[in-house]
Structure 1
Amino acid sequence: MLEVKFDEDQLNRIINAAVDKALERHSLQNSLPPILNRQQFMELMDIGGTKATELFNREDFPVTRVAGTPRVLTHLLLEWCERHTDWTEKNAGPGWKRRRGGHAS
């Protein structure tokens, strides 16, 4: 049986880090419209049209089309970004990283 022991300070740091991350995520989500059009999506991710088209054509990307026009449900986008952190970090522009609390390269 594996036993892990934390002192109170360690446990508080772990809990506070998790809560801070959750608050940051919900803060960003609540500041955005529930559905993004192509331009809003490109501005949020700080990417151009070519990269947006690449994403919209991925089978695993949460895009829907309304009368042929792509729309992205914001909450699904944020979940997708969490699951694809490596791709997002590599391809999103510095504006996205600043909004997410990261550092622009």
Structure 2
Amino acid sequence: MFTMNFDDEMIEQLAEKIATLAYEKLNNKLSIQNNLPLVLTREEAMNVLRCGSTTMSELMRRPDFPVIREFGVKIPTHMLMKWIERNTNWVEKNTNYFEQEAI
């Protein structure tokens, strides 16, 4: 039978490394989002999504796509990011991310 022994220092170093990597990943994600305006124009959203005019028109007609039409056509950045996460098929199929409680 195979056994592995870990000392407290090794576990602490591993935990610190994992925490550092998680922090860097989150910081990078927030940094990108923080550099965007709170509300995006159609063209800005196209740049974020890296899509063309036709695809953007199709997205904006979807009932689940976050669009505000009260003061021109605008897309709230934070809601767009949530929409992207919700519509990323790989995440849903390969993780239990959406089954976890919101932080």
Which of 32, 40, 59 lines up with 1:28 in the alignment?
A: 32
> TM-score by structure 2 length?
0.65
How big is each residue's C-alpha offset from its partner over 1:48-96, in whole Å with a ceiling of 9 and x where there is no partner? 01111121122222111135x4210011111222232338xxxxxxxxx
Aligned equivalents of 1:58, 1:50: Cα separation in 2: 13
Q: Identify unmatched segments of 5+ residues in structure 1.
A: 88-105
Which of 73, 77, 83 lines up with 2:76 in the alignment?
A: 73
Q: Secondary structure at the match of 1:70?
A: coil
How high is the sequence identity, in percent, across the aligned residues?
37
Aligned equivalents of 1:38, 1:21: Cα separation in 2: 28
Q: Secondary structure at the match of 1:66?
A: coil
Instruction: Considering Cα pairs closer than 8 Å and 6+ residues apart, tell me whether 1 or 2 has the greater RCO.
Output: 1
Change (3 A) 1:65 1:12: same
Instruction: Name the structure with the higher strand share.
Output: 1
Task: Return the index of the structure with the highest Cα Rg.
Answer: 2
Q: Secondary structure at the match of 2:40?
A: strand
Runs of 4+ in 1 over 6 A off after TM superposition: none
Aligned equivalents of 1:80, 1:17: Cα separation in 2: 25
Q: CA RMSD in A?
A: 2.3
